[in-house]
Structure 1
Amino acid sequence: MPAIYLSCLSQPSRLNKERAWHWHFDPRMHSRAPFLVAFLLISAPFCLSAATDTCQVNRNNNANTIIVDQSGKGDFVKVQEAVDSVRSGNDQWTRIHVNPGIYKEHVEIPMGKPCILLEGSGLSQTIITGDGHAQTNSSATFTVSSNNFVAKRIAFENSYNRGAAVDSITEWEPAVAASVYGDKMAFHECAFLGFQDTLWDVQGRHYFNSCHIEGAVDFIWGSGQSVFEDCAINVTAGLLPKGVLAGFITAQGRQSATDPSGFVFIRGTVSGIGEAFLGRAYGPFSRVIYHGTTLEAVVAPAGWNAWKYQDHVKNFVYVEVDCGGPGADKSKRVPWETKSLSYSELQAFSRERFIDQDGWIGNQLA
């Protein structure tokens, strides 16, 4: 019952990452993970009442709207000020509309402030940006920990090391653009821009629709239970320091056979510069599926990397189904890649059955 225990603790698994000087170096710490999982399961009965599962609209069947505008023509000039104005325990959909501009700030939506719709004016027009780096638990430009959250047409950027070649491994550090902790979260036409660890998909059920996600190393990572539909994945591994052979698109952290987490890519594209693996294992039961995705030549021929879980390859669920493009050639894939799924097995990873069993996506304010 992931929706119960994942919504109970505000920041249950913010494990720092160590510096990743080379593509095969271990940049994360796992020692606290078993304790955290046990704690979450034990704690679930005591905090179930704290979760907000539904959000209401006002009498006009609309959301209350707060305007953020840098020129002072709105209610607030900073995004965080608008978030702070939402009352704790909010159960009414509240729209925070952010007018065009580059907002240089770190924004956090804490647990206890659900039912927020954060809306920009276009992912190339409204950008929240920062340059925090070194520690994943403190570098994120944008963090959302509460349930029932929607973002539309807005970009989240960590500008550290983004857009230019990294000359030295001593200048290469984790830099998170967005950390996503809550359950029932949807991102529509959003951008996540960074270099390493761009999107920390920590936990909970998440839906990414027509998003742009960019990075070089582990730039979609964590233990979320997420569907990426019609998303453009832009690899920038060609900017890695000399001697770093390849990047990694995903680092999924499923911990057991009963862990519901996994990353499912439906349609969309994988393109960019350099070379990157479709994923490397961030847990002994790591699970990533590409279905109907166009894979360009940027995909490494081997496809997948076991990282430090070489003894667990039989547990991985790494699948490519009906993919096309030059990167979809599987003749040189690792021998332990999951070869196929039956129709019924594949259906279990549809949006409706994998994350939307209770219809929460359709119930959110569009």
Structure 2
Amino acid sequence: MAPMILLSFVLFSFVCFYTGLDNVVKGLECQLNPNNPAKVWYTLSVSPPARHESNSNFTIKRENGQLSYTSIQAAIDSITDGNDKWIRIFKINLHKSCILLEGRYAQKTLIEFNAHQDTLESATFTSLAENFVAKHITFVNTHNYNLYGRGTRNQNANANDVTQAVAAMIYGDKSAFYSCGFFGVQDTLWDSQGRHYFKNCYIDGAFDFIMGNGQSIYDECIIRVLGNAIAAYGGVGYITAQSRSSDEDPSGFVFKGGVVEGNGKAWLGRAWGSHSRVIFNDKKIKSKQKFNDIIVPERWSPWDFENDPVKHFTYTDQNCDGPGNDTSRRQFNTTLTDLQMQQFIDLSYIVAEGWISNQP
């Protein structure tokens, strides 16, 4: 079965500028439907063309009748502005708050585009909406990424043309992704701002491919380094580029469990901000976080803050395992007590008011 391929889109809605739990700009509260097993008020589903190359129109079906649109965007536009009820979107694009975007399988439900002109303009998927959930969807930017070779370099690509090409840019507060894929080479996932939760996701990339100022937990995710896509640069990349800029900034990337694998070599992260914060941790006895033998022994790079007299980074990789877990040459390590670590790996780090339990 050929995968469904959708083009680039932008979600325009309310933006919550997150500044800390004590100063949260309170956003729209979305209503669950207690009488629906999926907890949504109604479902918009899509019947794609028989072949993904076809330009045929999609048919949008709604529970209370059938509606046909000349474009997917027109179907999303049918949802009223200010919508406050959870609506499930099945296999299509959207730009409203309180939306559950759901595919049947992440391997076969793809949102794909090829763009690299500018970081802000290149994203295949941009979400400005708060209260957003995605399940079983793969977001792909195919610039220098051979999708069907799962990240192997495009044969016709210029060897020196690796540049910013974002697969997904997430601005909206209270956004959650379950069993989703994010595929690209450079700047794959722009975790820009807000509180986000990624569960059982796949993230491919080479340079800074998890980047931004989000306050996010990555729970049991698989991170795959594509050293073969940057062979012209020595095959050495960077997994994270977190941009926290002050002690008061609550943002940070927390990786709980999961696997770091791939080919080539990669640093765990480099500092995009003066107070960059990235934590890799798992205290599970039988299922510790696994590092493949691709991690650069120094692990963390100060990047443009090399000459700062005091390094304010919070970089730690505790309770990890695997052949890449050599800490003998680690440049930076912030040792956290069990209590301090618990404050980050517990869901309360991002859901103090329980927003995840209020999503379908």
What range describes the TM-score normalised by the shorter chain of this pair?
0.7 to 0.9
Which deviations, in whole Å up to 9, do the C-alpha atoms of 1:114-170 show, x marking residues without a partner?
100000011101001000113111111111111100000010000110133376564
1:73 Cα offset (Å):
4.9
Q: 2:183 and 2:160 mapped to 1: Cα distance?
A: 21
Identity %: 41
Match for residue 326 of structure 1 among 312, 323, 327: 323
Task: Report the equivalent of 1:314.
Answer: 311
Change (3 A) 1:206 1:143: same
Q: Structure 2: which 5+ residue stretches go unaligned?
A: 1-11, 50-57, 62-68, 146-150, 283-288
Number of aligned residues: 316
Alpha carbons of structure 1 residues 325 and 231: separation in structure 2 relative to 1, 3 Å: same
1:1-366 correspondence runs (5 A): 10=15, 48=25, 51-57=27-33, 59-60=35-36, 62-63=39-40, 64-71=42-49, 72-75=58-61, 79-98=72-91, 109=95, 113-162=96-145, 163-165=151-153, 168=158, 170-244=160-234, 246-292=236-282, 293-310=289-306, 311=308, 314-334=311-331, 336-338=332-334, 340-365=335-360
What is the distance in 2 between the residues matched to 1:81 and 1:235? Answer: 37
Q: Deviations over 1:199-237 (max 9, x none)?
A: 000000000000000001000000000000000001102
Matched position secondary structure for 1:156: strand
C-alpha distance in 2 between matches for 1:173 and 1:265:
25
Cα distance change of structure 1 residues 58 and 352 upon mapping to structure 2, 3 Å threshold: closer
Task: Indicate if the aligned counterparts of 2:267 and 2:301 stay in contact, CA closer than 8 A.
Answer: yes
Which amino acid is the alignment partner of residue 177 of structure 2? F
Give the partner amino acid of 1:218. D
Q: 1:114 to 1:8 in 2, by over 3 A?
A: closer
Letter in 1 for 2:326: D
Moved more, 63-72 or 277-286: 63-72
Residue 86 of structure 1 and its aligned partner are, at CA, apart by 2.0
Structure 1: segments with no counterpart, 5+ residues = 1-6, 13-36, 100-106
Quick check: 201-210 or 325-334, which moved more?
A: 325-334
Asked if structure 2 preserves the Cα contact closer than 8 Å seen for 1:287 and 1:316, the reply is yes
Q: TM-score, normalised by structure 1?
A: 0.80
The 1:259–1:207 alpha-carbon spacing in structure 2 relative to 1, beyond 3 Å, is: same
How far apart, in 2, do the equivalents of 1:134 and 1:11 lie? 27
Give distance in 2, aligned partners of 1:77 and 1:8.
22
Counterpart of 2:54 in structure 1 is none
Partner of 1:16: none
RMSD between aligned residues: 2.5
Q: CA deviation at 1:244?
A: 3.6
Q: Distance in 2 between matches of 1:225 and 1:77?
A: 38
TM-score normalised to structure 2 length: 0.81
Q: Partners of 2:302 and 2:185 in 1: how far apart?
A: 21
